[in-house]
Structures are given as C-alpha cells and as structure tokens.
Copies of this chain bind each other. A is one copy, B any other.
Amino acid sequence: MALGTDYSGQDCSLARALELVGERWTPLILRDAFVGVRRYRDFLAHLDIPRAVLAARLQALVDAGVMTKVRYQDAPPRDEYVLTAKGRELWPALHLLSQWGERHLSELGPRRVYTHLPCGSRLEAGRCPSCGTVRPEDVEVRLGPGAVTSRTDAVSVALREPRRLLEPLRTS
C-alpha cells in the first residue's frame, strides 16, 4: 500500500522535521546546496532525479522557508535556490548522519574530509576539536580516500576540488 507523506498522529518535532526534509531526495538536495549548488540545472545534472520531482522538492523547501529563490537573470527569468538561515541550521544534523555513514558504510575510508578553515583542524563529530562549534561557511570539504570519482557531470567534476561549504558553485 502507498504510504502518506506526513506523520499527522505523531506529536513530535522529529516527525515535523521529517515532513519537511525527510522526503526521498530532499536530504541530497540539501547536501548539494551546502556544497554550493544553487541552480536547477546543476541539481538536475548531479542528482539522478526526475525533473518533476526535483521541481516539487525545491518548491516545498521554498514553501517551508528552508530555501529562498533569488533572481540571477531577467531575460529569460532564472532563479537560484539559496539556503536560508533556517536551512543552514540543518547542517549539523545532515553532517552527523553522513559521518555515521562514513564510519559504517564506507569500506575504503571516508569519502569526504571536512576541515575547519580558520584553524586547519579536521572536524570530529561535526565540531572542531580546537574551536568547538563551527559554521558551515567556515568548513572546507575535499575528497577522501573512499571517494569514487566516476561521475562526469559538471557538478561532480567541480566537486573533485576542495571547496568551502556554501560558496556558490558555478558550472559555466
């Protein structure tokens, strides 16, 4: 049987959060947004996702205040999807879930390595061992020993280089 998309009988803020960000593909759209992807065609190139699903997920994130649309071209009109402050606050939860995957589901070592740029320390459990809490915009991500670089779309190629989180990624 089909499952609904909400958890209306559950009085729980995890359930409320999952209704917004737990749908299939949404966490990976957010992951891409944190590494700087902002444009529809770039999300589309990097995610193996039907156009209609991508459009619906992005609109749901805008409706929820997790992303906002920013016009970057007038003729024809084109918008970028940019994380809001509320959206950026999702980084620790998403990062810790990915770190759980790195520990348990990445046999060749971590696929990505995260460094706190102001001090150069490698993050541990989403924090800087020297400075404590970090802001995602102060974090650099680069490929680790477990990474597989078989994808050749423009976003995947750009992500082979070290990047500062949230820095806009431009593929053309």
Interface residues of A, Cβ cutoff 8 Å to B = 1, 3, 7-18, 20-22, 24-25, 27-28, 31, 47-48, 50, 53, 65, 86, 89-90, 92-94, 96-106, 110-112, 125-126, 133, 146-151
- Name, among A18, A47, A110, A150, the residue most crowded by chain B CB atoms within 10 Å (CB to CB): A18
Residues of B close to A25: CB separation below 8 A: 3
A28 and B53 within 8 A (CB): no
Write the chain B residue with the least CB distance to A146.
Answer: B13
A11 and B89 within 8 A (CB): no
CB-contact partner of A12 in B28, B89, B125, B126, under 8 A: B28
A70 CB, min distance to chain B CBs, angstroms = 21
Inter-chain pairs besides A1-B50, A14-B28, 4 sampled, C-beta below 8 Å: A12-B28, A13-B146, A14-B94, A65-B104
B3 and A31 within 8 A (CB): no
Pairs across A and B, CB under 8 Å, 11 listed = A12-B98, A13-B105, A13-B112, A14-B101, A17-B98, A17-B100, A17-B105, A22-B27, A86-B104, A89-B100, A93-B99
Residues of B close to A126: CB separation below 8 A: 92
A11 and B147 within 8 A (CB): yes
Residues of B close to A31: CB separation below 8 A: 12, 14
A67 CB, min distance to chain B CBs, angstroms = 14
Residues of B close to A1: CB separation below 8 A: 50
A139 CB, min distance to chain B CBs, angstroms = 15
